[in-house]
């Protein structure tokens, strides 16, 4: 009798203890692979933990953050945003949900989805009114508005952030917005004054080279005409025309590049001011 009971107990224990141990084993395996830099296989391990489900919210949360870190390490920010969007585990604490919402917003920003980032930040205010003291959310809102060049909204968001932190001595960067140049103006200048578009875009050397080629075309055309080489004069006019039209298009491209650099520098300045780094 005793032996039978003993054997039955062993049998039952063997079945039921294996399953519980597996989920944490997969989690440990995932952590180990992630430390080794094998993010793909680590992701698979974390997905196993999520797949097994169960009621262990701490285990599931670690699996979610593990997979999120793998995707971020591989710079798959859009995929990370989609992954977090699909997480529907209601047993997480408010703090954990807040953390995941912040991460989702960060991934949206890093993926270049600035409107998505702003709407996530606005949603956080509604979902977590009492916990919403996220510096990260405030910073990302401001930077996203900057990227979209919505300056009024960016300034408003900056002021909200400044009011929430100790803002003594902080200068409002939106009072000195970067002065962007106009592509249309560059085009008009280059059309009527050879080289003027490139000068306006801040590239004097290119402007001089362009003027040189256009002048060479004009000189060749005029001297050919004066020497009664009328078709050659036409070729000279063609050289002038080609470089002139090219200069107009180039001016627009240069101004676009200039504005992009200005934008990046302004954003870096605002980011440094808001993060203190």
Partner 1 sequence: MKRLRFVSILFCFLISSVFLAAQQRGFEEEMRFANYLIGKSLYPEAIDVLSGMDTTGMSPEQKDVFFYTMGWAAYQFKQLELAEVSLMKVSAQSEEYRKSRAFAAYTLAHRGHYTRAEAIYRTVPAQDSVEAELIRMQHAGLALLQKQYQRYDSLRKGFNYSSYLFQQEEAKLDKFYSEMLAHKNKSPFLAGLYSAVIPGAGKWYAGKKKQAIAAFLPVASLGAVAYEAYRKGGVKSARFIVFGSIFSLFYIGNIWGSALSVNVERNEFNREYENKILFNMHIPLRNLYNQ
To partner 1, the closest distance from the beta carbon of 220 in angstroms equals 10
- The verdict on 44 binding partner 1 (CB under 8 A) reads yes
To partner 1, the closest distance from the beta carbon of 232 in angstroms equals 5
Window 207 to 236, contacts with partner 1 (CB under 8 A) = 228-232, 234-235
Window 134 to 163, contacts with partner 1 (CB under 8 A) = none
Q: Please state, in angstroms and rounded to a whole number, the distance separating the CA atoms of residues 44 and 26.
A: 9
- The verdict on 40 binding partner 1 (CB under 8 A) reads yes
Residue number with CB closer to partner 1 (75 or 133): 75
Residue position matching structure tokens 């400044």:
162
Number of amino acids touching partner 1 (CB under 8 A): 23
CA distances from 172 to 23, 113, 143, 202, 260 (A): 51, 26, 14, 27, 21
To partner 1, the closest distance from the beta carbon of 200 in angstroms equals 31
Residue number with CB closer to partner 1 (151 or 234): 234
- The verdict on 4 binding partner 1 (CB under 8 A) reads yes
CB contact at 8 A, 232 and 224: yes
Contact region with partner 1 (CB under 8 A), list: 43-51, 57-65, 147-155, 167-175: 43-51
Residue number with CB closer to partner 1 (39 or 258): 39
- The verdict on 51 binding partner 1 (CB under 8 A) reads yes
Window 69 to 88, contacts with partner 1 (CB under 8 A) = 86
Within 13 A of 44's CA, how many CA atoms are on the CB side? 4
To partner 1, the closest distance from the beta carbon of 111 in angstroms equals 17
Residue position matching structure tokens 């519980």:
20
Residues binding partner 1 (CB under 8 A):
3-4, 7, 11, 14-15, 18, 40-41, 43-44, 47-48, 51, 86, 228-232, 234-235, 238
């Amino acid at each position: 009798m005793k032996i039978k009971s003993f054997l039955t107990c062993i049998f039952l224990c063997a079945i039921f203890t294996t399953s519980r141990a597996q989920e944490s084993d997969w989690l440990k395996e995932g952590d180990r692979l992630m430390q080794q830099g094998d993010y793909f296989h680590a992701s698979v391990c974390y997905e196993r933990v999520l797949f097994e489900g169960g009621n262990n919210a701490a285990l599931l949360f670690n699996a979610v953050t593990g997979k999120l870190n793998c995707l971020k390490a591989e710079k798959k920010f859009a995929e990370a945003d989609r992954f977090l969007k699909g997480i529907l585990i209601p047993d997480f604490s408010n703090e954990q949900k807040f953390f995941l919402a912040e991460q989702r917003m960060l991934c949206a920003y890093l993926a270049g989805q600035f409107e998505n980032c702003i709407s996530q930040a606005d949603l956080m205010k509604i979902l977590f009114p009492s916990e919403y003291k996220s510096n990260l959310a405030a910073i990302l809102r401001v930077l996203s508005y900057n990227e979209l060049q919505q300056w009024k909204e960016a300034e408003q968001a900056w002021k909200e952030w400044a009011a929430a932190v100790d803002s003594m001595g902080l200068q409002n960067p939106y009072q000195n917005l970067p002065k962007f140049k106009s592509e249309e103006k560059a085009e008009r200048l280059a059309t009527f004054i050879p080289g003027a578009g490139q000068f306006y875009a801040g590239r004097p050397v290119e402007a001089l080279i362009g003027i040189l080629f256009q002048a060479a075309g004009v000189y060749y055309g005029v001297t050919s005409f004066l020497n009664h080489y009328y078709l050659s004069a036409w070729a000279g006019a063609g050289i002038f025309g080609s470089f002139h039209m090219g200069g107009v298009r180039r001016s627009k491209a240069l101004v676009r590049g200039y504005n992009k650099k200005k934008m990046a520098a302004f954003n870096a300045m605002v980011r440094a001011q808001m993060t203190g780094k």
